[in-house]
Structure 1
């Protein structure tokens, strides 16, 4: 009887040991699987982040290349063409008979071409560095941009700039380009009649709030297609460590809040 109890005790101890070992193995296996899953998720996150950074980098290069192409096209098509025409007029003046009326006509055309060329050079210069941005600050430059946009479209733009501090020129230029992109999209795509644009300081940073009453769009679909306008806005914002928040639906206009740290 005692021998049977001893055997049962050994069996119980052996079975308990096996069960504990199986339980420990299960716990260790679970921990290893969980750690492996965490590592996979971390790698996937890092890969997605690296992909996003590459997209932003290429987006920045694409924006720079687009600006260069546009500048080259403007110089060739407008300034270059005007100078070529002016050269032809000067040649005609040299070959023309000494008739005051003909010389006066050629001279008038030459002056007109020179004036147009000066205007084009000023416009191209303003595109490279907006007029008044360095001298008078961001609100002055944005106000001029809004006035120019209203002259060229049927959109009413209401601008409100609330006690903005002095902002670094590089940041101001990026913000100006960002607002320019928004207004260009409003003119070309939104079919909006009214735009509300607010610039203010919020939490030691600059906050830009844009609203329009246009046709809106499906943000998820547009973002998945990597819409050029959205990409440019995101790229310009990321260049100055800012964040964007879009609120839009089809037929409900667009609201965008851009937050940019100023420290």
Structure 2
């Protein structure tokens, strides 16, 4: 027994060394595989983020092109058609100066047509640059937008505006467009009869809360279908370094929360 003890000791040391080596190799292998997994997940995340940013970019381009097409169509169909009709009426008046009744009828039609054309031009101009937003501020612009929405629909809008912060014109315009997009969606798609809208500033952070009692929708399906309204809201929110949260289900309306930091208005000094 005494002669076998050194051999047993050597075997024990050799076995322990092998076990330690295998354990160390296992730990190193685990760390390498874990790092590879982390790197792979990071690449997948970055690819998904890049794809998402690309979708937002193309969504913005698509929105701009659609807006241009809409304005071109309105100018052609409404203003262009009105001016063509007016030209025809003026020509008829020129040929019928001796016929007082026809002249007066065409004169009245022309006057009405001119008034309608002026209204259309003002509306299109307001779509491009909201009237009074720069002159009177965001509250005036939002209140005017809500009033016009209620005038042309059966939607009641409850507006709460508690913003004690004067932002720059660019931020005000983006906020206005966000509200405009939400109300347009309510008009066109939601079948809502009540909209609750609040704009509240706390310090240098602003929160926009929107809620309607419309028919709602499946958010995942709408987002995968590249819903232009959702993309526009998300894109404009990112433009002001904010984030947006949607809550909606079919037949349960839509709730939306937007938060973003407010930058102080920079006064431009005249030379």
TM interval, shorter chain, is over 0.9
C-alpha separation between the residues in 2 aligned to 1:183 and 1:135?
23
Structure 1 unpaired stretches of 5+: none
Is the contact made by 1:137 and 1:167 (CA closer than 8 Å) also made in structure 2?
no
CA offsets per residue over residues 141-170 of structure 1, 9 Å max, x none?
111111111111111111111143222211
The aligned runs of 1:80-119 (5 Å cut-off) are 80-119=80-119
CA offsets per residue over residues 95-120 of structure 1, 9 Å max, x none?
33533333333222222222211111
Q: Secondary structure at the match of 1:101?
A: helix
Q: 1:256 to 1:95 in 2, by over 3 A?
A: same
CA offsets per residue over residues 169-219 of structure 1, 9 Å max, x none?
111111111111111222222222211111110352211111112222333
C-alpha separation between the residues in 1 aligned to 2:50 and 2:163?
38
Tell me the residue number matched to 1:11. 11
C-alpha separation between the residues in 2 aligned to 1:241 and 1:66?
25
Q: CA deviation at 1:52?
A: 0.9
C-alpha separation between the residues in 2 aligned to 1:108 and 1:218?
51
Structure 2 unpaired stretches of 5+: 264-271
Q: CA deviation at 1:3?
A: 4.6
Tell me the residue number matched to 1:58. 58
With structure 1 as the length reference, what TM-score do the two structures score?
0.93
Q: Secondary structure at the match of 2:42?
A: helix
| 1:209 equivalenced with 2:212 (yes/no) | no
CA offsets per residue over residues 69-93 of structure 1, 9 Å max, x none?
1110111111111111122222223
CA offsets per residue over residues 42-71 of structure 1, 9 Å max, x none?
101111111111011111111111111111
C-alpha separation between the residues in 1 aligned to 2:106 and 2:77?
22
C-alpha separation between the residues in 2 aligned to 1:189 and 1:83?
33
